[in-house]
């Protein structure tokens, strides 16, 4: 008769327990007496020892009667890893430079036994990839001289550092490298954009926002006068009015469209 996995056969007052695939262990005592767990083979870890990768454990094989219950604990060096008690474990940055093992405990009513896998490691840091843009930077704000514009950095892979450069008609604006930029008279009629440069230890990449514009001049009035005469001069939009007056009268003239 062939033995099946974990089959129990009783022979008189002795008990034979087939631990796995025909391998047998003979235990003394009366048939049905509990037998403490024994280790037939230790657990085995597989997977790439690199942070971010997932390790798997093939459970060990244990004898004993009744069949033991097996629990496991992943370990970093000589310390337990909190919450890591499953058949898989995903390596983290904390594991870099350390060895990882998985310890199993097989227990039944007659006792318990522990078995620990061979160590995997030291764990390597995840390779760093050159940054790549996910979403480009963008500009918000009012396109009028004197008003501030705000730029987002965009989003990137590779956890890079970001540097910004504001552009006027595609050319760098000297000193304009912050997240905000206040429009100046030099920007009147121009299109504005911002370029983000993302850098990490693997390299750098750039992305430019959509342009916004053209920028319009600020609109306002200035007034001068004396001896009953007042002159009001507009500045900014070409269609803004101009007013002059004398002897208590004001004439407003509109220029442009």
227 or 69, greater pLDDT:
69
> What pLDDT digit, counting tens, does each position of 117-171 carry?
999 999 999 988 999 999 999 999 999 999 999 999 999 999 999 999 999 999 9
pLDDT tier, 10 (very low <50, low <70, confident <90, very high otherwise): very low
What region, left, alpha or beta, does residue 93 occupy, with left being phi > 0 and alpha being psi -120 to 50 degrees? alpha
* Tens-digit pLDDT profile for residues 76-107: 999 999 999 999 999 999 999 999 999 999 99
Given this chain, do its domains 8-116 and 133-208 carry the same CATH topology?
A: yes
Q: Which fold has domain 133-208?
A: Immunoglobulin-like (2.60.40)
Q: Residue 32's pLDDT is what?
A: 73
Tokens of residue 45, six digits? 């870890």
Structure confidence by residue, pLDDT tens digits, 182-238: 999 999 999 999 999 999 999 999 999 999 999 999 876 555 565 656 555 455 554
| Domain 8-116, CATH class in plain words | mainly beta
pLDDT above 90 (res 179): yes
CB 141 within 8 A of CB 120: no
Residue at token pair 């490691």: 121
Q: State the Rg of the chain over Cα.
A: 39
| pTM summary value | 0.53
Taking the CB of residue 80, how many other CB atoms lie within 10 A of it?
A: 12
Domain range list for the chain: 8-116, 133-208, 220-254
Q: Decide: helix, strand or coil at residue 54.
A: strand
């Amino acid at each position: 008769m062939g033995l099946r996995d974990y089959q129990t056969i009783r022979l008189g007052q002795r008990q034979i327990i087939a631990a796995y695939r025909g391998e047998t262990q003979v235990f003394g005592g009366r048939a049905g007496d509990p037998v403490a767990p024994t280790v037939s083979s230790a657990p085995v870890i597989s997977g790439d020892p690199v942070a971010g990768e997932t390790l798997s454990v093939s459970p060990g094989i244990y004898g004993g009667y009744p069949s033991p219950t097996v629990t496991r604990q992943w370990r970093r060096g000589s310390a337990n890893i909190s919450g890591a008690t499953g058949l898989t474990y995903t390596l983290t940055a904390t594991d870099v430079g350390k060895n990882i093992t998985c310890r199993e405990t097989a227990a039944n009513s007659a006792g318990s036994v522990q078995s620990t896998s061979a160590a995997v490691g030291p764990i390597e840091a995840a390779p760093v990839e050159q940054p790549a843009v996910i979403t480009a930077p963008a500009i918000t704000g009012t396109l009028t001289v004197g008003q501030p514009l705000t730029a987002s950095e965009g989003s990137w892979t590779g956890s890079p550092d970001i540097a910004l450069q504001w552009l006027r008609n595609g050319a760098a604006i000297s000193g304009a490298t912050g997240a905000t930029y206040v429009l100046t008279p030099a920007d009147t009629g121009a299109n504005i954009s911002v370029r983000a440069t993302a850098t990490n230890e693997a390299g750098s990449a750039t992305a430019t926002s959509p342009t916004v514009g053209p920028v319009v001049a600020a609109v306002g009035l200035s007034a001068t006068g004396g001896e009953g005469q007042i002159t009001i001069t507009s500045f900014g939009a070409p269609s803004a009015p101009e007013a002059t007056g004398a002897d208590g009268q004001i004439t407003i003239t509109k220029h442009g469209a």
